[in-house]
């Protein structure tokens, strides 16, 4: 069992806890209102400084955990809006799980740098910072969550060990409703940088992910079983997927993203587990993908459980030296861990790639490998202009089990020849996903 599969089991347990999710607010991004319940008593709101009022020290030695938890309990108990301030300086934080529901909105201003213990053996599970069951939550301030992950990357053997160690995710957002996270950086996470699970109406804006290209299994933002996720004007540099989507990802908008290095933007992989929730309503637009393994990708396992993914649209995207700019891979089989004889039972429909331009690092600039058992339906490509200038150029496309609607420029010619090779297996180790029970997430 790979790391993403193991994390999936843990996430199932999280799904068993009751949520106080309410209908999505009209208009999307901004938090509105507070959840009921929370800590007993009731503070008066206002500003809570973890240093001035709760004894935190920016000395990189004193654990921030208890001062932060004390400030959180007071803020969460207040019916009036509260603000927690982590001022400038560098703090050591062993672990923090900040639980709701709260009686009123809570805002955290992270102005300093918060560092995790560098030794992964310090952690007993895969959580460093978690926000759980909260409504009306905001976080900003220009601060940094530094996972200090270099030692963990050197110990990552998940590509060959199915019982590999689970390293902590920098920030988990679980079951948040009406949340707004902006002007925050996560860097050098030991595993995923951000995991979004069971959220409704959550926005990331001017959000930065900074991991080196060699960091393993460090997806920028992974989304699972969440409705109404918006990611705007953000920069993601990592060693894995910039953004990955697990099952149950619905009504997601990604706009103005700079992705790379990394493995691109991936929907899936899907179909690994029984009972996966549909993926529906994903739009990626006005973004740039640079020096990545993949550009925009949809992937599912062969011999999969049944499922659906629909209404997925990729528009106005610039590719700069991307190995696989456009790819549908329904034969996704990293490290030959699956049965290629039986086709995927994930039904893909209503997919568009429009105004995708730039340079490909590989000759096969467009790969549409759909399922022989459930061919893709409603696939449209318009104004594709991808150039490959390598020694075996020009760029080509490969297609199977799909008859796309074509319009505008088509460079390379789309589906001019049948597929001769499969992209399956090109990707690296499968990973368990923290995005929900049935969400293998994305690899490579």
Indicate which residue of 133, 182, 222, 263 is catalytic.
263
* Annotation says 159 is catalytic: no
Contact indicator for 255, 28 with CB cutoff of 8 Å: no
Contact indicator for 48, 86 with CB cutoff of 8 Å: no
Cα gap 344→305, rounded to integer Å:
8
The encoded tokens of residue 39 equal: 């800590």
Contacts of 115 (CB under 8 A, 6+ apart): 60, 90, 91, 92, 93, 146, 148
Kindly provide the b/e burial profile for residues 210-225, where b requires at least 16 CB atoms within 10 angstroms of the residue's own CB: bbebebbbbbbbbbbb
At residue 168, the 3 state secondary structure works out as coil
The encoded tokens of residue 20 equal: 């106080």
- DSSP per-residue letters across 229-258: EEEES-EEE-SS-SEEE-TT-EEEEEES-E
Neighbours of 230 (CB within 10 A): 17
The values of phi and psi at residue 75, to 5°, are -65, -40
Cα gap 24→230, rounded to integer Å:
13
Active centre residues (catalytic): 263
């Amino acid at each position: 069992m790979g790391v993403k599969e193991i994390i999936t089991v843990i996430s199932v347990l999280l799904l068993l806890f009751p949520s106080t999710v309410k209908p999505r607010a009209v208009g999307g991004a901004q938090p509105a209102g507070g959840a009921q319940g929370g800590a007993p008593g009731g503070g008066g709101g206002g500003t809570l400084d973890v240093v001035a009022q709760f004894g935190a020290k920016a000395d990189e030695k004193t654990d921030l955990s208890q001062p932060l938890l004390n400030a959180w309990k007071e803020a969460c108990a207040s019916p009036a809006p509260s603000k927690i301030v982590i001022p400038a300086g560098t703090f050591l934080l062993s672990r923090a799980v900040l639980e709701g529901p709260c009686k009123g909105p809570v805002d955290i201003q992270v102005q300093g740098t918060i560092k995790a213990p560098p030794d992964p053996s310090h952690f007993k599970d895969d959580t460093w910072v978690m926000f759980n069951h909260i409504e009306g939550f905001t976080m900003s301030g220009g601060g940094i969550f530094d996972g200090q992950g270099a030692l963990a990357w050197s110990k990552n053997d998940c590509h060959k060990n199915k019982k590999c160690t689970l390293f902590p995710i920098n920030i988990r957002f679980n079951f948040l409703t009406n949340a707004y996270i902006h002007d925050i950086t996560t860097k050098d996470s030991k595993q995923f940088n951000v995991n979004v699970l069971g959220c409704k109406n959550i926005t990331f804006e001017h959000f930065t992910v900074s991991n080196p290209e060699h960091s393993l299994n460090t997806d920028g933002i992974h989304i699972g079983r969440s409705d109404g996720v918006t990611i705007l004007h953000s920069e993601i540099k990592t060693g894995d997927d910039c953004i990955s989507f697990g099952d149950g990802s619905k009504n997601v908008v990604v706009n103005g993203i700079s992705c790379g290095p990394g493995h691109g933007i991936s929907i899936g992989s899907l179909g690994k587990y029984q009972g996966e929730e549909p993926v529906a309503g994903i739009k990626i637009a006005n973004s740039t993908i640079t020096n990545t393994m993949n550009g925009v990708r949809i992937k599912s396992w062969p011999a999969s459980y049944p499922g659906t993914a629909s209404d997925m649209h990729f528009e106005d995207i610039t590719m700069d030296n991307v190995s696989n700019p456009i790819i549908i891979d329904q034969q996704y089989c990293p490290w030959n861990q699956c049965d290629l004889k039986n086709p995927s039972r994930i039904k893909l429909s209503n997919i568009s790639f429009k105004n995708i331009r730039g340079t490909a690092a590989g000759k096969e600039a467009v790969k549409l490998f759909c399922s022989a058992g459930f061919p893709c339906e409603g696939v449209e490509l318009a104004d594709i202009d991808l150039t490959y200038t390598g020694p075996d150029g020009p760029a080509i496309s490969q297609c199977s089990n799909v008859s796309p609607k074509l319009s505008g420029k088509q460079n390379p010619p789309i589906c001019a020849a049948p597929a001769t090779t499969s992209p399956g297996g090109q990707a690296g180790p499968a990973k368990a996903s923290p995005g929900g029970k049935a969400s293998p997430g994305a690899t490579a």
